[in-house]
Structure formats: C-alpha cells, structure tokens
Chain A
Amino acid sequence: MNASHDRRAPDTTELVLAPTGTMVGSQASPTARRVLYAWAAAIAVIVIGATFNRDFATWSSLRVMLVVASFIGFVAAGQMLVVLVGGIDLSIPWVLNGAAIVLTTTSLGQTGRMPLAIALALGLGALIGFTNGMGVAWLGVPAVVMTLGMNGVMQGLTLGLSKGLTCRSCASYAPQPLRELFVAKPFGIPAQLFLWVGVALFITVLLSLTTFGRRVYATGVSQRAAFLSGISVRGVTVALYTLSGVFAAVAGIALVAYGGQPSLGLGDPYLFESIAAVVVGGVSILGGRGHYAGVVAGSLTLVAVITFLQTQRVPEYGRSIIYGLVILVILLTYGRDKSNA
C-alpha cells in the first residue's frame, strides 16, 4: 500500500489544487469529478424513488432522510479524515455508544449537569481517538488492528461498567434542553441539520483553507514526501484520529438527544455505513483525495436507498442484498483504482 502512495506522487499538484477548485465539466479535477458523481448518485436514487412513490421526494420526506443521513454524516466526517491519510477507524461504533452512555449517566437527565456531561462525552471521544492515533503513528500498529482492538476495549468497558446497561443511572434520559434543541425546527428545518452544516463547514474550512488541511492531503498522497518536506506526519495522523473520535462522540450525543435514551449496539450500523458513505462520496480509500461535499452526498445516497427499499416494503433480506448491490454498482462506476500495477 505504501508503495502505491509513492507511485501516485505526480498527481500532487492537481490534488492540492482540487479542494479549492470549483471547476465543472471536462476540466474538473478527479476530486471535483468524484464529488459530482456522488451527487449524481444521490439525485438518481431520489429520482428513482420519486417515480415509484410520488411522496418520496416531498420536503417532509426529504427532511426525514436528511436527519437520518446527518448521523451518518457525523461519523463519516471522522472516518473521511483518517481515510484521507490512508488510515481507517474501526473503533467508531463503541466510541459512539460509550459517549452516548456517558452523556446520559453523567447528566442524569438534569439540565445543570448537561455541560459537564457533554464535555465528558466529547472528551472520551477525543481520548480514544488520541490513543488510536498514538498507536498508529508512534507505535506503528496497523490502523485496522489498533482501532479494531480499541473498539473491543470500548465495548468491554461500556458493557462492563454499565453492567450491560442495567446500572441505576443507566435508565436516565438525555437532559431536556438538549432534547428540545434537537427536536426544534427553526424555519421548518430540523435543528439537527444546522449542526450538520456546521460540521460540513468546519471540515471544508479545515481541509481547504488551512495549512493543516494541505498537510493532510500531502500526507495522504505520500507519507514519505510529506515527511521529507518537513511535515510532522505523526502529528497530523494523531490529530486526525483524535478528530475522528470526537465526531463519533458527536454522533453519539446527537443520537441520544434525538432518541432520548442510549441502547447497546447503538453504534454498530455506523461502522460500515461510515466507510460506505466516505467511499460513495468519492474519497479514495488509499488516501490523498476526497472532499466532504461528496461524503454528504454519500450519506444521503445510503439513506435514500434504505428509505426507498423500506417504502417499497422490501423485506429485510432483500434490503440487505439490494443495498450491497447498489454500493457495488457505485464502486464499479467510480470507486475503482486506476491500475493495480
């Protein structure tokens, strides 16, 4: 895998320009083109859905889909950051679940304890992400192994410390103001979506307008070249894994605020969905290319496919098969490596 990073080095200038470029059409950079493909896929799914069921593309239906997609969007934001440097974060499910349970058990549903609870939940995400980053960057543990192990550690700790979610404080709900915040609909738009826009802006500014963002893309294209040009590759890697942990915690907080109470296995679907959203969104799994605008479209595509299959009353096995086929078709369309050799 490392060898392939170096082999793609000639693309560097193109890639560094890509995030800020807004070129469309034949002159578009590969990244911009992949973002366009991702949006085309999302729109195609919604249009297909609308032809089968006229209510599919109404605002009220789209609104629900966007809210569901935003949860994927949060975890995919973190996943995208680590994928950009050729890594992967498999610890997302139980970091998310752990943060959700920390939020309710420390807040005990009381408004006064809410800031502390949110800080602790985010802090937990940051701590686990930081540990992942240190393991990958400094100890040289492969990302798959480090984050897989961390997922197990978090699962064990969450289950054990909460006694399988039967502890006394485990029955408490998320604080009322937090829940109201997420149920609120200013101007008819769910407040949740404002948070998603905020996350999207944060990621876009971070990656496209800051030096740090340039370092991320440079590291993703070629770690060795980035290192030789004076970039602290290890620092960048640790920072990205930390952010991924924080975004998993954000998703956990949002899910608990939305649903009221955490459950065990809350985060399990988000492991594969985060990876799928990132890839459907046109981010290269080898690192170095991708834009969050594509990931937004990727999250929406996944949710639109699932929602469509549900409205068509496709049984669960059929949903699973078609979901896999759709991802496969998208991968074959624009998720292919240029060359293996």
Chain B
Amino acid sequence: MRDAMGWLRRLLDGPASLGYAVLVATTVVYFAVYTSNLGHLPTSFDFLSILNTTLPLVFVAIGQSLVVITGGIDLSVGGIVACCVAITATTVDGTGVMPFAWLLLVLVLGTLAGAVNGIIIARARVAPILATLATLSIFSGIALWVLPVPGGYISPSVRMVLTNPTIPTGLIWLGLAVVGWLVLRRTRFGMRVYAVGSDEASAIAVGVPAARVKVGVYALSGLCSALAGIFYVSTTTAGDANAGAPFILTSIASVVVGGVSFAGGRGSALGAMAGAVALTLVIDVIFFAGIDPLYQSLFQGLFLVIAVLLGTGAALVARARRGTL
C-alpha cells in the first residue's frame, strides 16, 4: 500500500506529470462533449478508432522524446515515416510469412535511416535541427520515388495482427511500447541517454560514449518512425508519400505537452505518449463539438502553448512551495 502511494507520488511529481494531467483533462472534455452532443457515452467502436488512429503518432512521439532528452531534435521523422509508409504500401502483400518478412525489412531500413542521422550529428558534429532538415528532404524524395501517387495495399493478415478493426490488438502494441520504454530506461543505455542530455561534457568526462549513445538514440527514433509508418498503412489500408509531413510538428508537440524539456536530460517517453493521445483527442473534441474543422490547427496551437505555460507555472509553484518548506 505504502509502495503504491510512493509509486503514485513519483508518477505525479515526475516530469511526465504534465502529459498525464493534460491527457486526463482532455479525456474528461472528450467525454463531456461526446455525451452532450450524441446523448450516449462513447462506444467501444469509438475507443478502437481512437486507439488505431493515435498509434502512429504515439510511436513517433516515443522516438522524438528520446532524441529531445539528449538535447537534440529530429525533423526527419516526417521523411522516415513517409519512406516506410511508401515501402510498406508497395511490398507488404500476400499471405504467409512473406508480408512479415517485408515488415521486418521496413523496420531495419527505418533504423538505418535514423542511424545515418545519428552519424551525421554525432560524428560530423552538425547541429541536429540542420542535419535532420537535410535528411528530411532526402527521405521524402525516396518516399516519392517508391510511391509517386497515393495508393498501395496491405496484406489483410498483417492488418488483423496490427490494427484489427474489431478487436483492440493495438492495445497489445501500445502495452509493448510502454514496457519497452520502462525496460529501456533502466538499461545502461537508458541511463546514458539522460546523462548525455543533462550535461554532455560531464557525461564524456565520466566515460560515457556520447557519440555512440546519440547514434543509438537517432537509430531508435528511426525505428519508431518505421513502426509508425507500418501502423499508418495498416490503419488507412493505403499509402501516401506525403503522409509523414504532419508527424514532424505533431511529434514535437506531443513531446512538449508530455513534459520533456527542450534543454535535454528531463522527461519521459510515457509523457510524450500521453501527449500524443491527448493531441489526437483534441481533434475528436473539435469534431464532436461541431466546430468547423478548419479551426483545428488553431486549437492544436493554443493547446500546445497553454500546455507549456501550465507546465512552467506548475514548476514555479512547486519550486516556490519547496522553497518555503
């Protein structure tokens, strides 16, 4: 019991608490708006559709949060997602083992693309925002080469496993992502990610191979983008070479709402995941509230700025309270 309380307090005191708070608030608003407009509670179909549409962003947000924790930023997620969407939508077909072998290849390609970013950033010492800006253009071009016009297909057997339209298989993958992060954070690599993010010079001084950690982090971000691409095709059952672009800004927004500090060294991928779900819910809230969808980005923008201001305000209050004690 006491253990559970301590765990709860750690959860609420942690940097990701902003993400959880925003997610809870958005969920409450979602329920209120949905119920008052449709006269009944959201059905299991609604939950399933939210789950499946939010999964790609959740994955990109995990990768982006890892990068931001090291003090970097990854703009090329848009390009890697687009690339993987294009490759998935043109290759993953048929039955048996083949489609899954192709999926594995897509994941490997995404990881390699991310590793290229990492090498440019860590070994050639180009600022992350610039390096990934250049590779974004390259990866987007490759996506357009693979899939010049929107279309493509995906094997139904893959779809049944990834985003089954009737049973929430997405929950399994979401759960695996959460567990994956909880494990990763406790590994030596996870510790080093935070060390590099909070003070790179000190981290190097105590023997952390900072360059290798960064390459690893960007490679993981590439892997997450590849997962996002696969889940995107699985949900929409078709591909589009321009599908990746929105993920650049929404993944950064998720990370920010999730309480990950842009100065590096602070935050958790769980917060970013909560931020990603909240950001997707906002769109549903706007839809069910009968607001013209043209105003969608207005609310997303306000949501972003206000969430950060709330986070800053909460931190100030917490610091003031600690000061008086």
Residue numbers of A with Cβ under 8 A of B are: 1-3, 88, 135, 139-142, 144-146, 148-157, 159-160, 163-164, 272, 275-276, 279, 285-286, 316-325, 327-328, 331-332, 335-337, 339-341
- How close is B121's CB to chain A, nearest CB, in angstroms? 9
CA distance A149 to B299 in the complex (A): 9
Q: Is the CB of A152 within 8 A of B200?
A: no
Proximity bits, B122-160, A CB within 8 Å = 1, else 0: 101111011101111111111111001000000000000
Which one of A1, A139, A160 lies within 8 Å of B298 (CB-CB)?
A: A160
CA distance A279 to B127 in the complex (A): 10
Q: Is the CB of A327 within 8 A of B200?
A: no
**Chain B contacts of A139 at CB under 8 A?**
309, 312
Q: Is the CB of A316 within 8 A of B144?
A: yes
Which one of B137, B148, B298 lies within 8 Å of A321 (CB-CB)?
A: B137
Q: Is B308 an interface residue (CB 8 A)?
A: yes
Chain B residues 292-313 with CB under 8 Å of chain A are: 292, 294-305, 308-309, 312
Q: Is the CB of A151 within 8 A of B137?
A: no
Q: Is the CB of A340 within 8 A of B210?
A: yes
With a 10 A CB-CB cut-off, give which of A164, A322, A340 has the most chain B CB atoms: A340
CB pairs A–B below 8 angstroms (26 shown): A2-B263, A141-B308, A141-B312, A145-B262, A146-B305, A148-B304, A152-B249, A152-B302, A155-B297, A155-B298, A155-B301, A156-B297, A156-B298, A156-B301, A159-B294, A285-B129, A285-B130, A317-B141, A317-B148, A321-B141, A322-B141, A324-B135, A331-B126, A331-B134, A332-B124, A340-B122
- How close is A153's CB to chain B, nearest CB, in angstroms? 4
A interface, over-half SS: helix
Q: Is the CB of A141 within 8 A of B201?
A: no
Q: Is the CB of B141 within 8 A of A275?
A: no
Q: Is B81 an interface residue (CB 8 A)?
A: no
Size band of the B side of the interface?
A: 35 or more
New contact pairs (20) apart from A141-B309, A317-B144, CB-CB < 8 Å: A135-B305, A145-B256, A145-B304, A152-B300, A155-B297, A156-B298, A160-B295, A279-B130, A285-B127, A319-B141, A320-B138, A323-B137, A324-B136, A327-B133, A331-B134, A332-B120, A332-B124, A335-B127, A336-B125, A340-B122
Given known A-B contacts A160-B294, A320-B137, A331-B130, A340 and B125 have beta carbons under 8 A apart: yes
Q: Is B73 an interface residue (CB 8 A)?
A: yes
Which one of B126, B140, B299 lies within 8 Å of A156 (CB-CB)?
A: B299
CA distance A30 to B160 in the complex (A): 58
**Chain B contacts of A319 at CB under 8 A?**
141
CA distance A337 to B124 in the complex (A): 9
Q: Is B204 an interface residue (CB 8 A)?
A: yes
Proximity bits, B98-132, A CB within 8 Å = 1, else 0: 00000000000000000000001010111101110
**Chain A contacts of B252 at CB under 8 A?**
144-145, 148
**Chain A contacts of B309 at CB under 8 A?**
139, 141
**Chain B contacts of A341 at CB under 8 A?**
200-201, 204, 210
- How close is A89's CB to chain B, nearest CB, in angstroms? 13
CA distance A151 to B250 in the complex (A): 12
Q: Is the CB of A141 within 8 A of B137?
A: no
Q: Is B274 an interface residue (CB 8 A)?
A: no
Proximity bits, B267-306, A CB within 8 Å = 1, else 0: 0000000000000000000000000101111111111110
Given known A-B contacts A144-B73, A152-B301, A335 and B130 have beta carbons under 8 A apart: yes
**Chain A contacts of B303 at CB under 8 A?**
149
**Chain B contacts of A3 at CB under 8 A?**
199, 201
- How close is A334's CB to chain B, nearest CB, in angstroms? 11
- How close is B205's CB to chain A, nearest CB, in angstroms? 8
**Chain A contacts of B71 at CB under 8 A?**
1
Given known A-B contacts A1-B71, A144-B73, A286-B127, A320 and B305 have beta carbons under 8 A apart: no
Closest B residue to A323 by beta carbon equals: B137
With a 10 A CB-CB cut-off, give which of B124, B134, B200, B292 has the most chain A CB atoms: B134
**Chain B contacts of A322 at CB under 8 A?**
141
CA distance A323 to B144 in the complex (A): 14
**Chain A contacts of B298 at CB under 8 A?**
152-153, 155-157, 160
- How close is B201's CB to chain A, nearest CB, in angstroms? 5
Q: Is the CB of B253 within 8 A of A148?
A: yes
CA distance A312 to B139 in the complex (A): 21
CA distance A318 to B295 in the complex (A): 35
Given known A-B contacts A159-B297, A335-B126, A339-B125, A148 and B144 have beta carbons under 8 A apart: no
- How close is B240's CB to chain A, nearest CB, in angstroms? 14
Given known A-B contacts A144-B73, A149-B305, A328 and B120 have beta carbons under 8 A apart: yes
**Chain A contacts of B145 at CB under 8 A?**
317-318, 321
